[in-house]
Amino acid sequence: MNDTAGAPSFPAAPLACDRQTPSWVEVDLAAVRRNLHSVRDFLARAGEGQSVLEPAPASASPRGGLPAGPASPLLEASPPRVLAVVKANAYGHGAIPVARVLAEEGVAGLAVASVVEGAQLREAGLSLPMLVLAAGDASIAGESVRLGLIQTVCSKEMLGALAEASQRLGRPARVHLKIDSGLGRLGIRPDEVAHFAAHLRQRRGLWVEGAFTHLATADDADPAYAQLQHAEFSRALQGLAGAGFHSLFRHMANSAATLRFPRMHLDAVRPGLLVYGIRPDAPGLPALDLQPALTWKTRVAFVRLLPGGHSVSYSRTYVADRERRCAVLPVGYADGYPRRSSNRAQVLARGAMCPVIGTVCMDHVMIDLTPAGDVAAGEEVVLLGAQGQARITANDIAAWAETVVHEVPTVIGNRVARCYTGGDRAGSGSARGEDPDETRPFSRRHPARPH
């Protein structure tokens, strides 16, 4: 059993499992591996990922100024590849252990939210390519270049800061251009691409390696807007090619789009949810063998008989209709258990679904034990995950809390210990694919073009 002890303290790491916290999370890293294999199998079956946007002609330019990375078997693999999203502490699963497993499995790269998140992984010894998804302000440019991260860029200020840092540190600034194909968040609009490309060309030291976009409605029943964004991204890529940026590494598909839109697989997909074994909340998804990696457990702190007519918790939102056997659980919204799920959520005790009664408190949740029977204080209950034949999914909790499924594991707090199983690759002597050189390009088929 591993833990995250020894991880840098910033951002504050969750407590290690041996700390006896009132509730804890068990992460099955073998499930993460299996989910990744399922995604890869799906990509291989889908097959047509390269057909939509015409593959760009390979650039004749050498990777000037960049040290050649050691040959990696990954580089020979057929696209599309997996750029696994491990931002926000790997959606609460623990960025370092999850990233280690993904690196061993040879993902093309990892996506983090910030330079701080990238630094945490670099300090843990992870050297594979890492894309910083957020644009950040120019003050983070130096650290991004120093750490060999791949920076998302959509502003001239950031371009300038990266170029300056590159000159100062004597190493290239790796860059993926963010295209706003319709999300209306970060990015250069397709009609701004030519103008932006002119600025790119003036900057020395930038390694403009990729371009990507992000979908606004990947999980909507109606695919029309996602398809429109695909067309807009295509337009931006054509604009970039017209300005001399032919060989960009292209990616746009999150988990839902990976499953729904094979045409959007391009050079890589960027799944988060699927890696963690969570099905996106989207209609009509194809079957995929997924195993939820995270189980959240606690122990009953107190059992009591509540007389009929007695209310439970703040604001008296629940009143017992008759005498009821109830349990108090030592977990609450301070741990990330959603207050909004008050009187809606269920918890598994002895394999039975027990309703949450009353308002979820900062440190306590109350459940009705009627379906479970004679549960005693100290017994283990499951807030998220399986017990016996029953399972509570992140999607269930998201529905009870009226939120997106991403939020459910991600907000599980740092006072909840993380315990890990399945970290070792069964029967593996050597790990495939962790590349000691973070300057490795994503693809030999599309050699990067230095600028």
Ligand X SMILES: Cc1ncc(COP(=O)(O)O)c(C=O)c1O
The residue ranges that bind ligand X (CB under 6 A) are: 85, 133, 214, 254-256, 270-273, 280, 406
β pairing state of 346-349 and 352-355: antiparallel
CA–CA distance, 126 with 435 (Å, rounded to integer): 9
**Residue 297 backbone zone (phi > 0: left; psi -120 to 50: alpha; other: beta):** beta
| Smaller CB separation from ligand X, 2 or 144 | 144
CA 68 from chain centre, in angstroms, equals: 29
**Choice between 256 and 419, CB closer to ligand X:** 256
Of 97, 75, 121, 85, the residue nearest 26 (C-alpha): 97
Which residues face 380 on adjacent strands?
299
Name which of 260 and 324 has its Cβ closer to ligand X.
260
> What is the separation, in whole angstroms, between the first and last Cα of the chain?
46
| Nearest distance in Å: CB 222, ligand X | 18
127: which 2 tokens? 């050297």
In the complex, residue closest to ligand X by CB: 272
**CA–CA separation, 166 vs 162, rounded Å?**
6
Tell which phi-psi region holds residue 433, choosing left (phi > 0), alpha (psi between -120 and 50) or beta: left
Distance in Å, CB of 390 to ligand X, minimum: 25
Options 178, 314, 318, 420, the catalytic residue: 314
Instruction: Work out whether strand 324-329 and strand 417-421 pair parallel, antiparallel, or are unpaired.
Output: unpaired
Shortest distance (Å) from residue 214 CB to ligand X: 4
Query: What is the C-alpha to C-alpha distance for residues 349 and 103, in angstroms, rounded to an integer?
Result: 36
CA–CA distance, 97 with 444 (Å, rounded to integer): 28
Q: Is 314 a catalytic residue?
A: yes
Q: Nearer to ligand X by C-beta: 200 or 269?
A: 269
Query: In the bound complex, what is the minimum distance in angstroms from residue 109's beta carbon to ligand X?
Result: 12
User: Where does 34-172 show beta strands of DSSP type E?
Assistant: 81-85, 109-112, 130-132, 150-153
Query: How far is 122 from 112, CA to CA, in rounded Å?
Result: 11
Instruction: Please name the amino acid found at residue 153.
Output: V
Between 259 and 392, name the residue whose CB sits nearer to ligand X.
Answer: 259
Q: Among 74, 132, 143, which residue's Cα sits nearest to residue 103? A: 74
**In the complex, minimum distance from the CB of residue 344 to ligand X, in angstroms, rounded to a whole number:** 24
Closest CB 176 distance from ligand X, rounded Å: 11
Among candidate residues 87, 91, 337, 420, the one labeled active-site is: 87
Q: Using the minimum distance from each CB to ligand X, give the nearer residue, 74 or 85.
A: 85
Positions marked active-site: 87, 314
